[in-house]
Amino acid sequence: MATKGGPLARYGDALRNETFAGFVLILGAVVALIWANSPARDVYATMSEYVVGPEALGLNINIATWAADGLLALFFFTVGLELKHEFVVGALRDVRQALVPILAAVFGMIGPMSVYIVVQLIRGSGNFDGWAVPVATDIAFALAVLGLFGKGLPASLRTFLMTLAVVDDLLGILIIAIFFSSGLNFVMLGLSFLMIAVFGVLVQKRIMKWYLLWPVGILAWYFMFASGIHATISGVALGMMVPAIMNKDEHESLTEVLTEKFNTAVSGFVLPIFAFFAAGVNVVDNEGGFGATLADPVAQGIYLGLPVGKVIGIFGGTFIMVKFLKLKLGEGMRLADVFAVSFVAGIGFTVSLLIATLSFISYPADDPTGPNARLAVILGTAISLVFGAIALRIESTKRLKEAGIQATKKEK
């Protein structure tokens, strides 16, 4: 256990800074990408694919899957907590304001899908199997980039992006369940919902015993996993069960208390480990090299769909909602902020990589379409990250200058 002032304690304190937390996450991804393409790439692949877990429960899965389906559920639990707080007592309690990021997520899926289809039509490829690949937003990476490059931007922008990304994830997982699942186990799904309801009753009654809540939460996760739906959804659902309104004898709501308790572990360990195993895509062994990926119509639809499609969908949709439907952005937000996070939302990564794998799983082993699609996700994500970081930094600098001018005027 770390003592006060020890390395772990100092690391935990540093993680309270979102910029540092974002840096740690991106560092994990960069290390993985370098290692997965180094002469020692077989070591990384062996480690990622090492299977561990009880076979009798269907949990004999590799370490990379444990990171994406297991550990990441803790992150989604904190997302559920934050969303519940925002919907009940925060910025999203105004229905007209909450509608904007929710509908933006829908437009943000239609945009990339449309770009993919248009590219296939222009190139005459006729391969529409990858239509769902560029629709996803990786919430963990997107929020990390916003924290890293969005200093000085309004807090409501984070809420906007978080809401958009969660809705995007839910819709993305729905796409997987409908179009790519071999069979949904409704009994297991029902048991998961039952455990989520039990968890909700316990927290509503303020029965906060870890030896009750943890087993119920783990069972909710397991049954969701066994149902065939991405298990991280259980994390969001559990978080949304926690009350956001304080009792008379409470100084903080339970959503705030639990967010504070989980944030350090999630930022410092869960997300970097997830990034380390999610980002290790092998580029150097791709048949035909990187040039073949760039020229592949399927890949083009994906790496253009992520940055371009997201901006068209999210920014275009939000512009229409604000200018013509008179819906409201969050406090202090501008359309220029939405333009910046539209690029950030093009960071597809986890769910996009998963859909890319599922979309072409039936293709022959020597067909390069599947590997090209996965590399296109990495490329589209990188393009979105670079343009998103630049756009956020421009907006951030502009805001900080405005704040400095206003402060100078007040002093005079």
On average, the pLDDT of the chain sits at 88
Is residue 202, in this structure, part of any structural domain at all? no
Is residue 91, in this structure, part of any structural domain at all? yes
Buried/exposed code over 197-224 (b: 16+ C-beta within 10 A; e: otherwise): ebbbebbeeeeeeeeebeebbebbbbbb
Say what the pTM is.
0.79
Say if residues 230 and 176 touch (Cβ distance below 8 Å). Answer: yes
Is residue 297, in this structure, part of any structural domain at all? yes
- Please tell me the total count of domains within the chain: 1
User: What pLDDT is recorded for position 181?
Assistant: 65
For range 352-364, the mean pLDDT:
84
User: What pLDDT is recorded for position 359?
Assistant: 87
Is residue 235, in this structure, part of any structural domain at all? yes
pLDDT higher than 70, residue 321: yes
pLDDT band at 1; cut points 50, 70, 90: very low
For range 97-124, the mean pLDDT:
95
Residue with the larger pLDDT of the pair 304 and 8? 304
User: What pLDDT is recorded for position 364?
Assistant: 87
Is residue 23, in this structure, part of any structural domain at all? yes
Q: Range of 398's domain?
A: 7-181+229-411
pLDDT band at 60; cut points 50, 70, 90: very high
For range 293-308, the mean pLDDT:
94
pLDDT higher than 70, residue 257: yes
pLDDT band at 306; cut points 50, 70, 90: very high
Is residue 74, in this structure, part of any structural domain at all? yes
User: What pLDDT is recorded for position 174?
Assistant: 78
Is residue 194, in this structure, part of any structural domain at all? no
Is residue 150, in this structure, part of any structural domain at all? yes
Specify the CATH number for the domain of residue 372.
Answer: 1.20.1530.10
pLDDT higher than 70, residue 333: yes
For range 135-142, the mean pLDDT:
88
Per-residue pLDDT tens for 183-205? 789 999 999 999 999 999 999 99
